[in-house]
Structure formats: C-alpha cells, structure tokens
Copies of this chain bind each other. A is one copy, B any other.
C-alpha cells in the first residue's frame, strides 16, 4: 500500500499558542473564508473586544497579517482587509510562476526517489477522487495545493517554501473564491501534474520548470478570462 498520509499545509501548528498567534490564525481564516469581506475597515478596539484580548497582541496579529498582504495598513489612518483587483492577482500569479518554476527545477534535482513515488501515489488518489466524486472540484482544489506544496518542500529552499506557503497560496485561495466557480479543470490539471511528476522522476530540470510554468500561467489565463467576463457584464 502506498503512503496515503496527507501533508498538512499548516506547518507551524506547534508554536506556543500565544494570544497574538491565535488572533492571527483566527483573523487569517476569517479573511480567507470571506467572513471578513474584502475592504472591511479593521478597528483595533472592536476586534480586541471580539476576541477577548487586549490591543497589544491584536496589534501584533495585524502587523503579521499586513506582512503576508492580507491587510493593508496606513499609519495613523487604520487598516483594511485587502481588496484583490486584477492587477494584484496578476502580480501574484506571475510571482508564483517564477517561484514554483524554480521549485520544480530544484525538485527534479533533489527530490528523493521515495518521495517521488509518494508524489505519484498522491496523484493516483486524486484520480480516484475525481472519478468518484465526478464534479466535486473543491476536493481537487485542496489536492491541487497539496501537490504544489510537496514540490515546494522538495525544492529544499526555505525562502521559496515560506513565501509560497505562508503568503502566495493564501492569496491564491482568495483569488479562486473571488472568481467564483472555475469550470471542471480537474482533469486537465491532473494530467499536467502527471507530466510534471514524470519530468521530476526523469530528473529533467529544464522540462519540470517549463511544465510547471505553463501549468500556472494556464491557470492564470483562465482566471483572468473569468474576471474579464465578470467585468464585461457590468
């Protein structure tokens, strides 16, 4: 039986649960899940009351959220939940393309054989999940992040891993939520993942990077199309 342990995307869960840390996690979830709508004004005293903590730790949480670009802050004027416009989304996808392309290249160079096997097994799971649930694209989305996460880990580059996992993936989730339902891309995404896995298994750095970049820029083109259609209907 192949390994079937899903890799959690929330890495640092073992940190001491300081108040600031907990507030950070809570607010982050609220923003990503859309409970705190984009553009919402953040008032420190209100949130502190809501979470039952003082303004000190809450401020620290806000600063951390600002650093991962979920909140924009203007000195003396307050902070708001970020509003993702098309411009910012493009920036994010471009950066992701560059970093994940590099990650794929490094993975092809460094990923241990057993992890490559495990990666392949993960894709088998995905295939099974797709044919079972048919249209359940949501499942595929989580799996999608799982696949990309594994490659980021395999790159053995801490900087790239932290920036992808700690910042870009969160924003990507918000992009997806915002652009509504993305048409059944599960099949094509899976086959692209397979090609990338093969390239890594063959230790073909060049190809792995190329395929990963095409995969991501393709995803962006689809999202952009949706955004344009939304905009046209206004």
Contacts and interface: CB of A to CB of B under 8 A. Distances in A.
Nearest to A90: B157
A180 interface: no
B95 A99 contact: yes
A58 B76 CA distance: 17
Given A63-B64, A98-B101, A101-B98, A157 B75 contact: no
Interface stretch (A41-49, A116-124, A158-166): A158-166
Given A16-B75, A75-B18, A97 B102 contact: yes
A38 B42 CA distance: 37
A100 B69 CA distance: 21
Oligomer: number of copies: 2
A56 interface: yes
Contacts of A92: 159
B95 A157 contact: yes
B163 A88 contact: no
Nearest to A68: B67
A90 B159 CA distance: 10
A21 B76 CA distance: 12
Contacts of A18: 75-76
Contacts of A75: 15-16, 18, 21
Interface of A: 15-16, 18, 21, 56, 59-60, 63-64, 67, 69, 75-76, 87-88, 90-92, 94-95, 97-99, 101-102, 106, 157-160, 163
